[in-house]
Structures are given as structure tokens and as C-alpha cells.
């Protein structure tokens, strides 16, 4: 029966229809007058009986997971959500990479160091990495002396924003990030000792001054000039 | 046993530290520093070899290119994650809102239609059930 219908549709397909855009005459089983079929034209014309209603289709299958579900909870990402939304994230890259030396917060375009450029222009790869020969190392023989001024900008350290108290625990070597620590441990210790000595001397001076002040005060108390003046009434020296 | 990402991170940190030390050596170069510098340059090559070895362990990790934009602008890449989470949550809520609205609309429509076309809606419900 279906094949008959198809043949009829083919007969009245738009290409060969002498009546132009008029609907093809298809015999209907239904005698009630209501349209029960869906007619599809095109390359594969078909007629589908779809019941007593217009445009009635099968409802889409029930999907287990839809937007009605709390997907954050479904995938167990609530922890990540609270982590990123609970506290205010710091904007700067250096707060994410605190151990990286140098200034990293500036835009990479300034010194052509963007990661985007690595993707856009891929570096040469696929070659074996070999240690340098002595002849190749000769190319790295340097002249003694400091670097010219224009190359020193990279050694500039970002200004400290936090108190060193907080950083103390973060860095095992005790040096804040981005600061140039001496390479040799002995020199490091020397400088540490020097600062310690300075601190000690400073403390000693303080104590000496205190003692002198006290002596002076005692003398003034016992001196005849001292007429029971309050400290604020003392003449400024 | 640390994860491949942790290994890579450690290697990269060591590499960066090596470069930092080379920078200090060359910034005020002393003649006796040449042998140390040569050692450091060789350890750079070793460091690159180590990073190269770890390549196979992280080949299945995909990073959205947008993260690179954040880094290139000197911004914290965690902000990207935060933005993604915020967007996903907003979309989730929006879709839930739409689904709920459609559900309410459907029940309201059926209710009203059954008042006007009780027979047809009864038939319709019979088909749907």
C-alpha cells in the first residue's frame, strides 16, 4: 500500500507536476476529514500517519541529565566553585607564580615573550638535545666586568607589597621571590652575619643612650637648678 | 610517587632557577666564574633534556588556549577557571529557568485547552499516556 502511495507522490512531484505548486492529490484512508498524515516532499517523499492531530510528533526521549540538574553538584565541582568564589582572587600573574624571579605581571607583547607566539610560530623541535662540546662552549667565554646599563633592567625586582613576615614561611631558602640571592652559601652567611652585627651594634647604641639619659635625669633631680619642673616644662636643649 | 604534572613543574622550576643563577653570574662576570658558567650552561641542556623526557607523560593534558591569553596579559590564569565556573553556573541556572518555564507553560496550556477542547485533550492525553 505504501509503495502505491509513493508512486503517486512521485507522479505528482514538483518537478513533473503540471499544476505547479499545488499539493498532490493523495488518497486518504481517513474519511472523517481530519488530516492524519504528514507528507514530506523532497528527494525521498514520504507519507507518515501521525494520528488525529496536526503536527503531532513523538516527544523527545527523556534525558537523564539536563540543565534542570545542578551540574556543579552532579560533577562534584562544588569544592572548586567555593574555592574560586569564596575568596577574592588576586589579579596578577605573580600571585599565581610567586616563586618566579623577575617581573612577570607586564603584558608579554612588550618583550615578545607571549605564549601565543609559541603556538603561532612553533619553535624548531625534533632534534636531539646534546651537551655542548668544548668548542661550542668557547662561544660563551665572557669578558670580566658588569653588564652594560641597558641590559640590567631584567634584574630589577618587583616592589615588595607584603610584609616579609608572611613570606618567611613560603620560601624554604628564606629569600623572597624575585630577589637575587647570592649563589654561594658562604657569602650568604657572611652578609647575614654582617646584618646581625649591625643590628647588635644598633641595639648597643640604644642601650648606651638610654643609660646616659637616665644618668642625666638623676643628676638634674639632685641639682639645685631642678625646681620640680614637669618634663614638658624643661627647656629644649 | 608524584604526578607527571608535579614532575614537570619541578623540572621547570629547577630550569628557571638555573637561568636565574646564570643571570647573576653574567651580570657581573668574574674571570674565575667561567668554569661555573660552563657547568651551568651544560646543566641548561640537561634540564631541557629532562623536560623533553616528561613530554610523553603530559601529552594527554589539554589546556584551553584562552588561558594563554590571560598569562600573556600578566593576569592570574585562575581567573579563567573562575570565569568558566561563573559562566557555567549562570548557563545552568538559565537553562533550568527555561525548563521550569516550559513545564509551567505546558501544564497551563493543557489546563486551558481542556477547558475549551475537553474531548480532544482527553484523546491527546490518552495517546501520550
Tens digit of pLDDT for each residue in A170-221? 444 444 444 444 454 434 444 444 444 444 455 555 556 666 666 665 555 4
d(CA A4, CA A79): 63
Q: ∠ CA(B97), CA(B94), CA(A83), 5° rounding?
A: 120
Cβ-defined contact of A51 to B98 (cutoff 8 Å):
no
Predicted ipTM? 0.74
**Largest Cα–Cα separation, chain B:** 102
Helix (H, G, I), strand (E, B) or coil at A39: strand
CA dihedral B29, B32, B35, B36 (to 10 degrees): -60
* Banded pLDDT at B62 (limits 50, 70, 90): very high
d(CA A90, CA B81): 13
Of all residues in chain B, the one with the smallest CA distance to A112 is B72
The yes-or-no verdict on residue A231 having pLDDT over 50 is no
Cβ-defined contact of B30 to A114 (cutoff 8 Å):
no
Q: What is the predicted pLDDT for the residue at A161?
A: 47
pTM for the structure as a whole:
0.57
Q: Which of B24, B81, B92 sits opposite A84 (nearest CB)?
A: B81
Write the burial class of residue B81 (CB in 10 Å: 0-12 exposed, 13-18 middle, 19+ buried).
Answer: middle
**In sequence order, which ranges of chain A are alpha helices (DSSP H)?**
2-11, 71-74, 78-86, 93-96, 115-120, 134-137, 164-170, 185-222
Cβ-defined contact of A182 to B73 (cutoff 8 Å):
no
Highest mean pLDDT among A207-211, B28-32, B42-46: B42-46
Per DSSP, A227 falls in state -
Q: What is the predicted pLDDT for the residue at A186?
A: 39
**Largest Cα–Cα separation, chain A:** 138
User: Rounded to whole angstroms, what are the CA distances from B18 to A104, B11, B43, B44?
Assistant: 17, 11, 8, 7
Q: Which of A107, A152, A182 sits opposite B73 (nearest CB)?
A: A107
Write down the mean pLDDT value for chain A: 65
Q: Which of B16, B65, B73 sits opposite A119 (nearest CB)?
A: B65
d(CA A100, CA B19): 11
Disruptive mutation site among A58, A62, A69, A144 for chain B (greatest number of B CBs within 10 Å): A144
In 10 A of CB B59, how many CB atoms? 9
The per-residue b/e assignment along A201-215, b for 16 or more CB within 10 angstroms, e otherwise, is: eeeeeeeeeeeeeee
Set of chain B residues whose Cβ sits within 8 Å of the Cβ of A95:
76
Give residue for cell 545542578.
A70
Cβ-defined contact of B74 to A145 (cutoff 8 Å):
no
Q: What is the predicted pLDDT for the residue at A38?
A: 65
Per DSSP, A90 falls in state P
Q: What is the predicted pLDDT for the residue at A172?
A: 41
Does A174 touch chain B if contact means CB atoms closer than 8 Å?
A: no
Set of chain A residues whose Cβ sits within 8 Å of the Cβ of B88:
71-72
* Banded pLDDT at A35 (limits 50, 70, 90): low
Residue pairs between chains A and B whose CB atoms are closer than 8 Å: 131
* Banded pLDDT at A126 (limits 50, 70, 90): confident
The yes-or-no verdict on residue B107 having pLDDT over 70 is yes
d(CA A71, CA A225): 86
A33: cell is: 476529514
Q: What is the predicted pLDDT for the residue at A2?
A: 45
Cβ-defined contact of A147 to B37 (cutoff 8 Å):
no
Cβ-defined contact of B76 to A129 (cutoff 8 Å):
no
The yes-or-no verdict on residue B71 having pLDDT over 60 is yes
Of all residues in chain B, the one with the smallest CA distance to A146 is B28
- Tens of pLDDT, residues A79-117: 989 888 877 888 888 889 888 887 778 887 777 788 999
Cβ-defined contact of B76 to A155 (cutoff 8 Å):
no
Cβ-defined contact of A107 to B72 (cutoff 8 Å):
yes
The yes-or-no verdict on residue A33 having pLDDT over 80 is no
The yes-or-no verdict on residue B42 having pLDDT over 70 is yes
Set of chain A residues whose Cβ sits within 8 Å of the Cβ of B52:
129
| In contact, A177 and A100? CB cutoff 8 Å | yes
Q: How far from each other are the two terminal CA atoms of chain A, in whole angstroms?
A: 124
The yes-or-no verdict on residue A15 having pLDDT over 90 is no
* Banded pLDDT at A167 (limits 50, 70, 90): very low
Q: What is the predicted pLDDT for the residue at B8?
A: 94
The yes-or-no verdict on residue A138 having pLDDT over 80 is yes
From B42, B16, B12, select the one nearest A140 (Cα to Cα): B42
CA dihedral A39, A44, A49, A50 (to 10 degrees): -70
Amino acid at each position: 500500500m505504501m509503495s502505491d502511495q509513493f508512486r503517486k507522490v512521485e507522479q505528482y512531484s514538483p518537478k513533473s507536476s503540471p499544476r505547479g505548486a499545488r499539493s498532490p492529490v493523495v488518497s486518504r484512508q481517513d474519511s472523517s476529514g481530519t488530516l492524519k498524515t504528514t507528507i514530506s516532499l523532497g528527494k525521498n517523499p514520504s507519507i507518515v500517519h501521525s494520528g488525529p492531530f496536526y503536527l503531532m510528533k513523538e516527544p523527545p526521549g527523556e534525558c537523564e541529565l539536563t540543565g534542570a540538574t545542578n551540574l556543579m553538584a552532579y560533577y562534584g565541582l562544588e569544592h572548586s566553585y567555593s574555592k574560586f568564589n569564596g575568596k577574592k582572587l588576586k589579579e596578577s600573574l605573580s600571585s599565581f607564580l610567586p616563586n618566579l624571579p623577575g617581573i612577570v605581571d607586564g603584558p608579554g607583547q612588550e618583550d615578545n615573550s607571549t605564549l601565543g607566539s609559541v603556538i603561532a610560530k612553533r619553535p624548531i623541535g625534533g632534534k636531539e638535545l646534546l651537551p655542548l662540546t668544548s668548542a661550542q662552549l668557547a662561544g660563551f667565554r665572557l669578558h670580566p666586568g658588569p653588564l652594560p646599563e641597558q641590559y640590567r633592567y631584567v634584574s630589577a625586582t618587583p616592589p615588595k607589597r607584603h610584609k616579609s613576615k608572611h613570606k618567611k614561611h613560603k620560601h624554604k631558602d628564606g629569600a623572597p621571590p624575585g630577589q637575587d640571592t647570592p649563589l654561594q652559601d658562604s657569602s650568604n652567611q657572611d652578609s647575614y652575619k654582617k646584618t646581625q652585627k649591625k643590628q647588635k651594634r644598633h641595639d648597643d647604641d640604644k642601650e648606651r643612650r638610654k643609660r646616659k639619659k637616665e644618668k642625666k635625669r638623676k643628676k638634674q633631680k639632685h641639682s639645685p637648678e631642678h625646681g620640680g619642673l614637669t618634663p614638658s616644662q624643661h627647656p629644649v636643649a | 610517587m608524584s604526578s607527571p604534572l608535579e614532575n614537570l613543574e619541578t623540572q621547570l622550576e629547577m630550569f628557571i632557577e638555573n637561568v636565574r643563577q646564570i643571570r647573576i653570574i653574567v651580570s657581573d662576570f668574574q674571570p674565575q666564574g667561567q668554569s661555573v658558567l660552563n657547568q651551568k650552561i651544560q646543566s641548561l641542556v640537561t634540564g631541557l633534556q629532562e623536560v623533553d623526557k616528561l613530554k610523553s607523560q603530559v601529552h594527554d593534558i589539554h589546556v584551553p588556549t584562552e588561558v594563554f591569553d590571560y598569562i600573556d596579559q600578566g593576569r592570574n590564569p585562575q581567573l579563567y577557571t573562575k570565569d568558566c565556573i561563573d559562566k557555567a553556573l549562570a548557563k545552568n541556572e538559565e537553562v533550568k529557568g527555561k525548563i521550569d518555564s516550559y513545564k509551567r507553560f505546558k501544564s497551563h496550556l493543557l489546563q486551558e485547552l481542556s477547558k475549551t477542547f475537553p474531548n480532544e485533550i482527553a484523546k491527546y492525553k490518552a495517546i501520550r499516556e
